[in-house]
Structure 1
């Protein structure tokens, strides 16, 4: 074989790995190109969105699908005239946010805008309206609390990609150096690889701390204030990132003698490195989707196992293709490769099991797998992993046949292919952590389906508002409000109402009503079946005047 052909093959292998990294970055950049995702959903509010209440409330309550944290100055309530209607600081208790209001609020439509942090450190923004007495023009918000700066949105997953790459270069090579590295071989090259991993993890962590400030507040990447950074460092996210930095610094001190070759046999150092490794790996799921999972404890453990398996497998492959298959002799490879093959098989098995459990928790349904961006990326990841497993099976076959010990070049080519494809898999993973899982969308849609239905009916004598809550089969509350044609409260002497579902042969059911105020009545009814219900209301306003109005509403 001529030197020129060797150089060409080397160039091809380097190009294959480089192409994998480039495509991985491309997957990262394309993944979050959709609108900014919220990882908690507003499931209810009091007053409800779009409802009309007879009197001004003294507070507003927002209920989210998971725990949220407040962002300073990011919740406001605007009165119909555009002035601030909120008073004092809002409070958060789990997924419930309470906003105190000024007393004596006037009639008209109010705008509530909010931006909070969900349990997985992603910002959640939105707005809703309610009216006191009667609807009016909606006040205009001065800021958009749903936006995320596009540069910040693009750089965050790139930082995550670098962090995952750092884990791969840190965990796998350290394990190989500690347990499989031949004593006669220099540790300079692998040491540089490990230090690169340490640097990437530390850099990605510092970058994440910086980016969390504009990501939370919706500002630009260079518009970060000292107070914003202080808020990040004081949050759960900041605390976990600081723990990660501390663990990395402690690990670096223990790694120095190992990488020099004079402390590799220290069992105490190896045990401490193992503990630090577990602590470092746990910081990734503690700032992501697993913390907001319905089974958070299971999700955090499974995600940590997923990361550990990936880091051991891919980091070991890097050591094989970069050093061992080039420098180790046949006798050494004969001892190393069977052990590595078992490690790889165990890591892959853990990777698959953990990945399946994660997908079942986050996707939860076939529809979510097929019809959501998150689910489709999962399918892409599964397809790529299937290809990698096929290549890994072939490489294991080479190892078992002993051919790799005599001619390691063929195994090196196979491993290069594995690494190129897995670079793309890491890119897809980096995009996934920025996208709302289907369970979030399902929580939001369930909330939308079960919120209050409000209908306003009018004739020449009155305007009648009907509120049905929740709009689902089961026990329901009916609120009735009567107004004059010019939206002033109208006294009703006597109320009566019925509900019927003609499509299923359900005759009108009398709704028992209680008169709360002169123009407001409330009743309870159990609607037994889903469908388009007909509600008929009669309001008697004097001994001789009464109005009967009817409407339909979809009950799910």
Structure 2
């Protein structure tokens, strides 16, 4: 029963942001939906945070469905570069990607661009969304749950056993609790390493290959999880004298080393989560580790108090232990509140995000439940100060059970919270890549004119013109002319100076002083006697 309670109030809060806070594609070159005159030699994808590549999960399809990419893509921070084959044909290309974000979650999607003119996008394998096997998706939160439960059964009980445990009491019961904690942390770490492969690839639980596991172990996620596993194994050896030897048999050096290992282990949780992609990653990692450590000390100590000390210790022993534990608990709760406030400011950042987002409202619900837990904890602290608990520990034991019961309710709220992205991240995901360029293709019997206006906003704008024959071959132009008008403001005939770059390509800069529906007139003279005039309307914001 306690295993379902001891995860507690704040343990999974650390995973609240990471669970669905992924990187977002914020830009691409060529831009999504754009039309470019010539086939580029590479495609660049820019994300909202640093990403890692997944083997063979990025491709570019040509208009005929063949692979247009060549060689391996490269990544530098938040930017992925995909080299392309030279001499690509005209039409629409499809870029399909699946990468891993800094918080270890997969991100997938597609981008299209066209060379010369748009066509029907190619069909083929497309990463249109992040598909996750249902079994894998269900096991991931279970694995995290077990890891947090293991920390609760490990950190708090070790501290109590090393510093507060009466010499006369047997250590076998607490030893079993601590070994259970070690097993849960180690097991959840191994499970996390296994699940990361099908999770990032979108495959089934038993479709993992040796190469897939090798890729996971070679990633940042895998390295951090291996560090955690190593720390757990080293801690198990150092804990043996404390758990099996005589009271006081453990050395101060062993306890100091356990402290260092404990801090290292706590840091591995935020290092595999969203804090690494925070606007202030150093602060977020430290705050999350502090949050996790305070939770493990408080709830782990409550488990020891409820299961062993209150039923077994005598009045004299409780009179010495409870005041010290009360001060520990007060410090842990203070650290929880401080860390929670700082992390909420980072993830929510605005009052509107707190009130008008699902994530923010769940935070408020957790605050209300946390207030109830603190009220019960204050009652137990009052009993400890009055020393009544040392004489009759039964009432205090019931209060401790009430604290654990309320945290089970908070855990239910947190389980929903982990499915919601924080407002800051959600905004980045929703915005996605946005191109402000206006691209239009104007046609006549003699020519096809591709027009690009950037940034299509009031102020200075650049205009690119490309001339093609009706059968999509470059058409040499002897002379270009262009004008811009805004009828709504009675602005007529603003001349756009144009410069020939190639036989069929011209560029120009023009100041469009007002937003609105601008009318453009383009004249292209192809011979001494032949010229074509085309008009278009573009919305300038």
What TM-score do you get using the length of structure 1 for normalisation?
A: 0.87
Tell me if 1:547 matches 2:533: yes
Question: What SS is found at the alignment partner of 2:121?
Answer: coil
| Aligned equivalent of 1:308 | 293
SS of residue paired to 1:182: coil
Worse overlay, 457-466 or 220-229: 457-466
Distance 1:511 1:345 in 2: 72
1:80-479 correspondence to structure 2 within 5 Å? 80-144=63-127, 146-262=130-246, 263-426=248-411, 428-429=413-414, 432=417, 435-445=420-430, 448-449=433-434, 451-456=435-440, 458=442, 460=444, 464-470=449-455, 476-479=461-464
Tell whether the 8 Å contact from 2:30 to 2:36 is kept in structure 1 after alignment: yes
Counterpart CA distance in 1 for 2:512 and 2:398 is 67
* Number of matched pairs: 529
Q: Separation in 1 of the partners of 2:444 and 2:188?
A: 66
Output the aligned Cα RMSD.
3.0
Shift of 1:535: 3.1
* 2:35–2:117 Cα contact (<8 Å) kept: yes
> Following the alignment from structure 2 to structure 1, what is the Cα–Cα distance between the partners of residues 114 and 451?
14
Contact 1:244 1:283 in 2 (8 A): yes
Q: Which stretch of the first structure deviates more once superposed, 247-256 or 396-405?
A: 396-405
Per-residue deviation, 1:397:
2.1
CA distance in structure 2 between the aligned counterparts of 1:18 and 1:258, rounded to whole angstroms: 23
SS in 2 for 1:279: helix
Residue pair 1:500, 1:509 contacting (<8 A) in 2 also: no
Partners of 1:520 and 1:57 in 2: CA distance: 16
Hey, what's the Cα distance between the residues in 2 that align with 1:507 and 1:166?
Answer: 74
Match of 1:516 in 2: 501
Q: 2: CA distance between counterparts of 1:120 and 1:291? A: 7
Partner of 1:7: none
In structure 2, what is the Cα distance between the partners aligned to 1:221 and 1:256? 35
Distance change >3 Å, CA 351–CA 21, structure 1 → 2: closer
Gaps of 5+ in 1: 1-13
For 1:190 and 1:501, locate their aligned partners in 2 and report how far apart those are by CA, in whole Å. 83
Check the 8 A contact 2:376/2:403 in 1, yes or no: yes
Cα deviation, residue 274, structure 1: 0.3
Please list every run of 5 or more consecutive structure 2 residues that lacks an aligned counterpart in the other structure.
Answer: none
SS of equivalent to 1:517 = coil
Q: Report how far residue 201 of structure 1 moved.
A: 0.3
Alpha-carbon distance in 2 for matches of 1:161, 1:178: 26
Q: By how many angstroms is 1:320 displaced?
A: 1.0
Contact persistence 2:197–2:208 (CA under 8 A): yes
Distance 1:402 1:517 in 2: 91
Provide the C-alpha distance between the structure 1 equivalents of 2:510 and 2:172, rounded to a whole number of angstroms: 77
Within 5 Å, give how 1:74-85 maps onto structure 2: 74-85=57-68
Q: Aligned partners of 1:340, 1:458: CA distance in 2, in Å? A: 78
Q: Alpha carbons of 1:206 and 1:511: their partners in 2 closer, same or farther (altered >3 Å)? A: farther
Write the mapping of 1:486-497 to structure 2, written as runs, cut at 5 A. Answer: 489=474, 491-492=476-477, 493-497=479-483
1:368-424 CA-partner distances (Å, limit 9, x unpaired): 334444434433333332222222222222222322222222221121121122234
Partner of 1:284, secondary structure, is: helix
Asked whether 1:72 is paired with 2:55, we answer yes
CA separation in 1, counterparts of 2:495 and 2:153?
71
CA separation of 1:447/1:323 partners in 2, compared to 1, >3 Å: closer, same or farther?
same
Tell me which moved more, 43-52 or 518-527.
518-527
Name the SS of the counterpart of 1:283 in structure 2: helix
CA distance in 1, matches of 2:66, 2:52: 25
| Alpha-carbon distance change, 256 to 475 in structure 1, aligned in 2, over 3 angstroms | farther
1:476 shift after superposition: 4.9
Match of 1:498 among 472, 475, 484: 484
SS at 2:111's partner residue?
strand
Matching residue of 1:61: 44
Deviation at 1:430, TM superposition (A): 6.0
Q: Provide the secondary structure at the position in 2 that maps to 1:294.
A: coil
The CA distance in 2 between the partners of 1:509 and 1:343, in whole Å, is 75
Distance 1:382 1:43 in 2: 33
Deviations 1:17-58 (A, max 9, x none): 57757999xx99xx99xxx94611111111111111111111
Please state how far the C-alpha of 1:485 moved relative to its aligned partner.
6.0
Question: Shift of the alpha carbon at 1:454?
Answer: 3.0
- Whole-angstrom distance in 2 between the partners of 1:249 and 1:489: 68
In structure 2, what is the Cα distance between the partners aligned to 1:391 and 1:495? 80
* Shift in Å, 1:445: 4.6
